[in-house]
Amino acid sequence: MAKLSFSATVAAFAEKIPGAVEAVFKEAVHDVTEEMLKPTGAGGRMRVDTGFLRASALASTTAMPTINRSSGPTDGASYAFDFGHIEAVILGADVNDTIYVGFTAGYAVYREFGANGQAPDAFVRGAAQQWQGIVDRKAGELKRRLGL
């Protein structure tokens, strides 16, 4: 059976429920982003040593965050991750916006695609591939919450 598009997944009940498409969109973006940033120790694909890569994650509705080729962790330092900035961008977005989530860490692309004999982590691509399933799950959850 063919997968339905985002709009087709929620269209059946969206006309009857104001804000349904926006709710599913924002919840799905949130979950895909959480999946992308999930450490390997929690079942995700992102290796977290110092936390620098994860802490460099940013979100925007205007452009993809730019990698700073010279940025990396300081020896012996550890970096805390705060989902608050990303959550604020998601919550402030309109359903017609594109939400970009990317990294500023100079080595982000090497972790994603692999380099120097290391296998790719594919934390971005792996999460993006789950988009349709997450949308379907979020639409189902919303329908259940609304008693549909």
pLDDT tens per residue across span 87-100: 999 999 999 999 99
Overall average pLDDT of the 22-47 stretch: 96
Total domain count for the chain? Answer: 1
Confidence bin at 7 (pLDDT 50/70/90): low
Q: What angle in degrees, to the nearest 10, is found between the helix axes of 6-14 and 20-36?
A: 140
Buried b (16+ CB within 10 A) or exposed e, 52-61: bbbbbbbbbe
Q: Any residues with CB less than 8 A from the CB of 106 and at least 6 apart, and which? A: 67, 68, 69, 70, 71, 72
Q: What percent of the chain has pLDDT over 90?
A: 75
**Does 2 map to a domain?**
no
Please, what is the average pLDDT of the chain? 90
What kind and span of H or E run contains 16? none
**Does 12 map to a domain?**
no
Q: Which domain holds residue 119?
A: 19-145
Q: Any residues with CB less than 8 A from the CB of 98 and at least 6 apart, and which? A: 61
148 pLDDT exceeds 90? no
**Does 48 map to a domain?**
yes
Quick: pLDDT tens for 19-29.
Answer: 788 889 999 99
pLDDT of residue 11: 57
Q: Any residues with CB less than 8 A from the CB of 84 and at least 6 apart, and which? A: none
pLDDT of residue 112: 97
